[in-house]
Amino acid sequence: MHHEHRGAGSRTVTVFVFPGVRLLDVTGPVEVFTTANEFGGRYRVEIVSQDGAEVITSAGTRLGADLSVDDLTEPSDILVIPGGPEWETVIKDDALLDVVRRLSDQANCTASVCTGAFLLAAAGLLDRRRATTHWRHTRELALRFPSVRVDPDAIFVRDGRMMTSAGVTAGIDLSLALVEDHHGAEVARAVAKDMVVFMQRPGGQSQFSVRSLAPHTRQEMLRGVLDAVAENPGANHTLSAMARRAGVSVRHMTRLFHEEVGTTPARYVEDIRLEAAQAMLETGDDPMSVVARRTGFGSSESLRRAFVRRLGVTPGAYRTSFRTTGVGAKDPASARVSS
């Protein structure tokens, strides 16, 4: 079954599946791209297996394929390589690795999910590139493939036309970033809201991503500044520090933010820090002082003031609202956090 948007300007997303693939590594990206079509996206999604046959996922679920590798008639705009718990066996399959190389050579962008990074590395596609994978396996990736520059903290990494993502739901973050690149931040945010992605993040995930807020900009220098804020919200991101990092004047940096981002530098930094704090509260049990320090608010009181001012709830009330699905919630504040 094809999930598609036909017509000029549409992009083809090819998801390669194999026996033992993790189901969510496949369905997460598929949901992002197909949901994007509801908000103006233009994606045609194909599920491809080596021989065109269905595969049995690691969950025991049968997953049908639209095409075999040999049936592909045109290059893919995006190739998605999911992972699976039996990746150690999969990377010894030379025929499968040949298929991965062949598909990647024909794709504009190759993106792995979770342990799919091991398939890319074993195929030689990550040599001398930055990459990441599930936090539980980053050390193993670095040891097995020393030519790969492993970033253990990132939710996803883009290096040239190769993208790799961390564990489980990080494939959703990566896919949202691609939707933003193609169709803008508004469409990506609409997809994220529709999928309620923060509610789906597992509690054990130590990283968090705020890249969905980072707007597309034509200015490479400014993009570097925006990425630095998103990747480490707790660092020093005063206006003067950002200007120094970019090698421009404070006045020029302020003007760039106004023209390219549509807000002030201070507001942008607070937006990023606020989402980072929300993610930590949704998925972890760190004390408020730790959340405040790691996300750049400094103190619990500063964190509390920002939450009350921007969200209308305290950080404690926000955390409580994400401990359940909200069924039977009596606190009226919980109705406001999703708005």
The Cα angle at residue 280 between residues 229 and 318, in degrees rounded to 5: 115
Taking 70 as the threshold, does the pLDDT of residue 177 lie above it? yes
pLDDT score at 69: 94
Dist. CA 178–CA 304, nearest whole Å: 33
pLDDT over threshold 70, residue 36: yes
How much is the pLDDT for 309? 87
Under a CB-based contact definition with an 8 Å cutoff, are residues 210 and 270 in contact? no
| CA-closest candidate to residue 62, choices 25, 30, 19 | 19
Question: Given a cut of 80, is residue 217 above it in pLDDT?
Answer: no
- What pLDDT score was predicted for residue 203? 32
Higher pLDDT, 153 or 230: 230
Exactly one of 103, 114, 125, 291 is catalytic; name it. Answer: 114
Give the residue with greater pLDDT, 244 vs 5. 244
Average pLDDT of the chain? 84
Q: pTM of the prediction?
A: 0.62
pLDDT tens digits along 268-294: 999 889 888 988 887 778 899 999 999
**Active-site residue flag, 109:** no
Highest mean pLDDT among 169-178, 239-248, 260-269: 239-248
Residues 14/81, Cβ–Cβ less than 8 Å? no
pLDDT surpasses 70 at 338: no
Domains and CATH numbers, the chain: 11-179 (3.40.50.880), 211-327 (1.10.10.60)
Please compute the mean of the pLDDT values over residues 217-236 and round it to a whole number: 83
CA pair distance 188, 115, nearest whole angstrom: 25
- pLDDT of the residue at 175: 92
Instruction: Identify the residue whose tokens are 């194909």.
Output: 46
pLDDT tens column, 110-159: 999 999 999 999 999 999 999 999 888 888 999 999 999 988 777 788 89
Tens digits of residue pLDDT in 281-334: 877 788 999 999 999 999 999 999 998 888 788 898 888 765 543 434 444 333
- The top-scoring range by mean pLDDT among 60-69, 202-211, 314-323 is 60-69
